[in-house]
């Protein structure tokens, strides 16, 4: 904690996608650390940006409603920033297949715009990019480490892979200090739950709270690893603060892989009235399903000292409590 305070106190820190799920949780932590925080968000409907996410720190941060596709805006906004947490993106795998051109614009071209803005206007900034385990596709072996081949199964995975490697190339060629975190099933307070196109965890949580019957595709025995958002935030802070991370990619992960059936059973225990049923995969979901996935976070553990702390049952309990208290801001 002390070393992070030394790294961030008084530092100008910009978060793209700052009103979204991870961005807003990161903003809360940076405010605690004494950083000067600027939040950038387009507030595009259905992408996750929500002013309620920062309601309790609104007087402690600055906000700019802007789209990362605006090159002129990015040229101005990156100036003077010590740290840039680049979390803005299109994260829905389903939407990427329905509208691949928008996914390309946001997850590829816009990432180049940010990096070019830094190269021309602020080459001393440190960038941390939010990537995804989806770029691995169907695992060749488990647990998946960073040496695993990249063969994504959808448009979103391809474009996120390109966005990640733009950051690494600019680190290696131009000296723009940058690194990437490959996130996996991050969950917790402030996660978008108003529709089911940005991952199953948030939608299952919503259904459980509403006492609905959760439909579990396949057998339910598919294993995943889950990262509570506070643990993910710690990884972003460590990656930004430590120069050992420059030019590196790191997997995040959970304490242990858990079947989707076990996840749903925990939710049903937390939410009396909820239930579940196992149903066949819809065709559009089956085509992009990856089966079992869990990653190795050994690289970031030994390089930066990151280890997830919050067990799944505890993280889900905290998340359910948050939404029960704030349902009016997240259901519509």
Could you read off the pLDDT of 72-83 as tens digits, one per residue?
A: 999 999 999 999
In whole angstroms, give the CA distance from residue 138 to residue 233: 26
Predicted confidence at residue 1, as pLDDT, reads 62
Determine the average pLDDT of the residues in 225-248.
Answer: 98
* Percentage of the chain lying above the pLDDT 70 cut: 98
Residue 131 maps to a domain:
yes
DSSP three-state, residue 231: helix
Q: Classify residue 177 as exposed, middle or buried by CB count within 10 Å of its CB (0-12, 13-18, 19+).
A: buried
Is there a domain that residue 328 lies in? no
Nearest to 160 by CA among 139, 181, 175: 181
Domain-embedded: residue 211? no
Which residue has better confidence, 71 or 27? 27
Q: Is residue 205 part of a domain?
A: no
pLDDT over 90, % of the chain: 85
Q: What is the CATH classification number for the domain harbouring 300?
A: 3.40.50.720
Which residue range forms the structural domain that includes residue 233?
2-187+227-253+295-309
Q: Give me the pLDDT at residue 288, please.
A: 64
pLDDT of amino acid 25: 98
Distances (CA, A) of 10 to 30, 118, 131, 238: 10, 20, 27, 17
Confidence class for position 96, pLDDT limits 50, 70, 90: confident
Distance of CA 298 to the CA centre of its chain: 19
As a whole number of Å, the end-to-end CA separation of the chain is 36
How many folded domains does the chain comprise? Answer: 1
């Amino acid at each position: 904690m002390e070393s992070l305070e030394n790294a961030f106190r008084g530092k100008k820190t910009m978060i793209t996608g700052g009103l979204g799920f991870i961005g807003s949780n990161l903003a809360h932590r940076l405010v605690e650390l004494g950083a000067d925080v600027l939040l950038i968000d387009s507030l595009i409907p259905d992408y996750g940006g929500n002013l309620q996410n920062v309601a309790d720190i609104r007087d402690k941060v600055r906000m700019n409603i802007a789209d990362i596709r605006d090159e002129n805006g990015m040229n101005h906004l990156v100036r003077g920033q010590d740290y840039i947490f680049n979390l803005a993106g299109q994260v829905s795998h389903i939407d990427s297949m329905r509208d691949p051109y928008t996914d390309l614009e946001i997850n590829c071209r816009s990432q180049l715009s940010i990096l070019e803005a830094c190269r021309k206007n602020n080459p001393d900034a440190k960038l941390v990019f939010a990537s995804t385990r989806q770029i691995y596709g169907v695992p060749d072996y488990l647990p998946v480490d960073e040496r695993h081949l990249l063969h994504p199964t959808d448009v979103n995975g391809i474009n996120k892979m390109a966005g990640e490697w733009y950051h690494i190339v600019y680190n290696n060629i131009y000296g723009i200090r940058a690194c990437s975190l490959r996130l996996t099933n991050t969950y917790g307070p402030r996660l978008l739950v108003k529709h089911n196109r940005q991952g199953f965890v948030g939608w299952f949580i919503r259904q459980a709270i509403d006492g609905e019957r959760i439909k579990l595709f396949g057998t339910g025995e598919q294993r995943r690893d889950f990262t509570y958002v506070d643990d993910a935030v710690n990884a972003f802070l460590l990656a930004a603060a430590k120069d050992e991370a420059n030019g590196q990619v790191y997997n995040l992960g959970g304490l242990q892989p858990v079947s989707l059936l076990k996840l749903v059973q925990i939710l049903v225990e937390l939410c009396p009235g909820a239930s579940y049923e196992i149903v066949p995969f819809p065709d559009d979901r089956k085509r992009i399903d990856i089966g079992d996935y869990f990653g190795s976070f050994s690289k970031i553990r030994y390089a930066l000292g990151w280890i997830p702390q919050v067990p799944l049952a505890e993280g889900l309990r905290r998340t359910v409590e948050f939404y029960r208290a704030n349902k009016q801001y997240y259901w519509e």
